[in-house]
Amino acid sequence: MELSDSVLDHLRHVAALPDLAGTRYELEREIGRGGLGVVYLARDRQLDRHVALKVLDSALDGEAQLIARLEHPGIVPVYEAGTLPDGRIFYAMKLVAGAPLDGYLAGAPSLGERLRAIRRVGEVLAFAHARGTIHRDLKPQNVMVGGFGEVYVMDWGVDAVAGTPAFRAPEAQLDRRSDIYALGALLEFVLPRSAAPALRAIAAKAMNADPTARYTEAPALLADIERFQDGLAVQAWSEPWWHRWRRFGSRNAVLLWPLVAYAGVKLLLFLLRIL
Amino acid sequence: MNKILVGLLFGLVFGALDGATAWFYPEARPLIASILLGSSFKGMVVGLLSGWFARKVQSTTWGIVLGAALGLLFAFLVAATDTLNGRHPYLEIMMPGFVVGAIIGFLTQRVGAPGLARKAGE
């Protein structure tokens, strides 16, 4: 008996689905696919809630333990980890409703919203670095932005992950500064074409090919973004004098306008006198 | 710094500066000392009231509006009691007074610590 291509495709698909027999989860559909495995939408029968179930292609383990050590509002918590009957490792995580950063940008968020997302990512990185953990593969697809603006950093790197070229630091030995590089690349990625040169300079400093010329830690980069948002000079950029004056003007516009108005009034009175 | 103190200081400085511009009017030069004194005092009163307002209401817009209104009011009172070449210099005093009041109102909102909120029932 010959099987049609569509039937064969279906069989292949079904065969690839994880066998969740013996677990409390019921598979619904695939929601994502990465270098190390596939993420499914599953229902936890015991607690009657949906979870994100990540099934690793190989026996590689590490991320679940890694995440479990990092309890932070910006890191998706792992509910449970285990092994499937076919030997593959799985873990159930909180299901995050939202879009990856690249999808989020398609909604044309404001610059403030974009920077807020980057700051949240930076805060998560700072937290992980303080606990001796590095991400290794920070990229837009690994940052989820929820419907209420909540930001999650996902897919914490295990040793096998080499990083994504556009967001990967050039050095072979990855460390905290490699994550800083990726954070800079992420900042550059979210910036609109019309972004201020100060912001581009922050991203460029973080992405410097020489790791020692980058920000030493994530909070330093975040502080520079905060300075930019407060209308202050950023450390990454030695701004020209006219730019400094313009920044001063826009920061103090509310005060400068009355002063200009005062000078205008005095000039007007002077002209009225001599005319 | 206390907002009332901020208002007094800025009122003094801007009032004095505003008064000092009378030097450009040759007919007012003999009276420059009293103009300086009066203008500084006027600025301080506007600053005091704007500072008191800033402790109660944190709003730059309303601070500017109140400062401008106070500046206009006190400038009117000064102009009404003053004569320059036989007429009341309403325009010469009220227009700058209005703008100086707005500046003082703005500064009292932006500079200085707001007063402690009163506890309920006090």
Q: Name the amino acid, one letter, at A53.
A: L
Question: Do A63 and A155 form a contact (C-beta atoms < 8 A)?
Answer: yes
Q: Would the CA dihedral through A229, A230, A232, A235 be positive or negative?
A: negative
Nearest by CB: B60 against A254, A262, A265: A254
The verdict on A260 touching B (C-beta cutoff 8 Å) is no
- Using the beta-carbon criterion (under 8 Å), do A266 and B102 form an inter-chain contact? no
The verdict on A271 touching B (C-beta cutoff 8 Å) is no
Other residues' Cβ atoms within 10 Å of the Cβ of residue A168? 19
Nearest by CB: B99 against A254, A262, A270: A262
Q: Which residue of B has its CA nearest to A263?
A: B96
Report the C-alpha gap between B79 and A205 in whole angstroms: 59
Q: Which of A5, A9, A86, A137 is catalytic?
A: A137
Question: Token pair of B47, please?
Answer: 């600053």
Looking at residue A136, what is its pLDDT? Answer: 86
- Using the beta-carbon criterion (under 8 Å), do B106 and A266 form an inter-chain contact? no
Kindly list the residues from chain B whose CB atom is less than 8 angstroms away from the CB atom of residue A270: 24
Q: Would the CA dihedral through B38, B39, B40, B41 be positive or negative?
A: positive
For range B80-98, the mean pLDDT? 83
Nearest by CB: B96 against A254, A265, A272: A265
Question: Do A56 and A36 form a contact (C-beta atoms < 8 A)?
Answer: yes
Other residues' Cβ atoms within 10 Å of the Cβ of residue B121? 4
pLDDT at A255 over 80: no
Looking at residue A200, what is its pLDDT? Answer: 97
Report the C-alpha gap between A204 and A181 in whole angstroms: 9
Is A224 annotated in the active site? no
Looking at residue A58, what is its pLDDT? Answer: 64
Looking at residue A31, what is its pLDDT? Answer: 86
| Residue A148, helix vs strand vs coil | coil
Looking at residue B120, what is its pLDDT? Answer: 38
Q: Binning pLDDT at 50, 70 and 90, where does residue A62 land?
A: low
For range A45-59, the mean pLDDT? 86
Kindly list the residues from chain A whose CB atom is less than 8 angstroms away from the CB atom of residue B25: 273
Looking at residue B122, what is its pLDDT? Answer: 39
Question: Do A79 and A93 form a contact (C-beta atoms < 8 A)?
Answer: yes
For range A68-88, the mean pLDDT? 86
The verdict on A275 touching B (C-beta cutoff 8 Å) is no
- Using the beta-carbon criterion (under 8 Å), do A270 and B24 form an inter-chain contact? yes
Beta bridge partners of A32: A39
pLDDT at A204 over 90: yes
Task: Enumerate long-range contacts of B76-83, CB under 8 Å, 24 or more apart.
Answer: B78/B38, B78/B39, B78/B42
Looking at residue A1, what is its pLDDT? Answer: 61
Segment A28-38, tens digit of pLDDT: 998 887 667 88
Beta bridge partners of A98: A146
Looking at residue A60, what is its pLDDT? Answer: 56
Place of tokens 């030995």: A173
Name the residue with higher pLDDT: B91 or B11: B11
The verdict on B28 touching A (C-beta cutoff 8 Å) is no
pLDDT at B71 over 90: yes
DSSP state, residue B84: B
Which residues lie below 8 Å from residue B17, measured CB to CB, with a gap of 6+?
Answer: none
Beta bridge partners of B113: B2
Segment B42-64, tens digit of pLDDT: 999 999 999 999 999 999 899 99
Percent of the residues in chain B that have a pLDDT greater than 90, as a whole number: 60
Q: How far is A262 from chain B (nearest CA, A)?
A: 6
Ordered by where they begin, the domains of chain A are: 5-94 (3.30.200.20), 98-239 (1.10.510.10)
Report the C-alpha gap between B44 and B107 in whole angstroms: 13
Question: Token pair of A18, please?
Answer: 């994880």
Question: Do A85 and A78 form a contact (C-beta atoms < 8 A)?
Answer: no
- Using the beta-carbon criterion (under 8 Å), do A255 and B106 form an inter-chain contact? yes
